[in-house]
Amino acid sequence: MKLISMKICPYVQQVRALLEAKSVRYAVEHIDGGDRPQWLMDASPDGGEVPLLITDEGEHLFQSDAIVEYIDDVVGDPLLTGSPLTRARDKAWGRLASDNYLVQCSTQRSPNEATLKERMEDLTPIFQATERQLKEEGPYFHGSELSMVDISWLPLLHRTALIEQYARYDFLAAYPKLMDWRHALLDTGLQNTSVPEDFQDIFTGFYLNEETYLGRLAGSRSS
Ligand X SMILES: N[C@@H](CCC(=O)N[C@@H](CS)C(=O)NCC(=O)O)C(=O)O
Q: Is 63 in the site for ligand X (CB under 6 A)?
A: yes
Q: Is 49 in the site for ligand X (CB under 6 A)?
A: yes
Please return the burial class of 27, using the count of CB atoms within 10 Å of its CB with bins 0-12, 13-18 and 19+: exposed
Options 47-55, 153-161, 164-172, 190-198: segment touching ligand X (CB under 6 A): 47-55
Give residues with Cβ within 8 angstroms of 145, minimum separation 6.
none
Q: Is 94 in the site for ligand X (CB under 6 A)?
A: no
Q: Is 50 in the site for ligand X (CB under 6 A)?
A: yes
Residue 118 backbone phi and psi in degrees, to 5: -65, -45
Q: Single out the residue of 1, 4, 7, 11 in contact with ligand X (rule: CB under 6 A).
A: 11
Q: Single out the residue of 1, 4, 9, 214 in contact with ligand X (rule: CB under 6 A).
A: 9
Report the residue number, 29 or 145, with the smaller CB distance to ligand X: 29
Give residues with Cβ within 8 angstroms of 62, minimum separation 6.
43, 44, 45, 46, 49, 51, 52, 53
Q: Is 28 in the site for ligand X (CB under 6 A)?
A: no
Report the residue number, 100 or 147, with the smaller CB distance to ligand X: 100
- Which alpha helices (DSSP H) does the chain contain, by range? 10-21, 38-43, 64-74, 84-98, 101-108, 113-133, 148-167, 176-187, 190-193, 199-207, 213-222
Task: Please report which helix (H) or strand (E) contains residue 8, including its range.
Answer: none
DSSP symbol at 60: E
DSSP symbol at 59: -
Options 17-25, 61-69, 134-142, 172-180: segment touching ligand X (CB under 6 A): 61-69
Nearest-approach distance from CB 51 to ligand X, in angstroms: 6
**Which residue, 157, 178, 141, 148, is CA-closest to 19?**
148
Q: Is 72 in the site for ligand X (CB under 6 A)?
A: no
Nearest-approach distance from CB 102 to ligand X, in angstroms: 6
Report the residue number, 106 or 220, with the smaller CB distance to ligand X: 106
Which spans of this chain sit near ligand X (rule: CB under 6 A)?
Answer: 6, 9, 11, 33, 47, 49-51, 63-65, 98
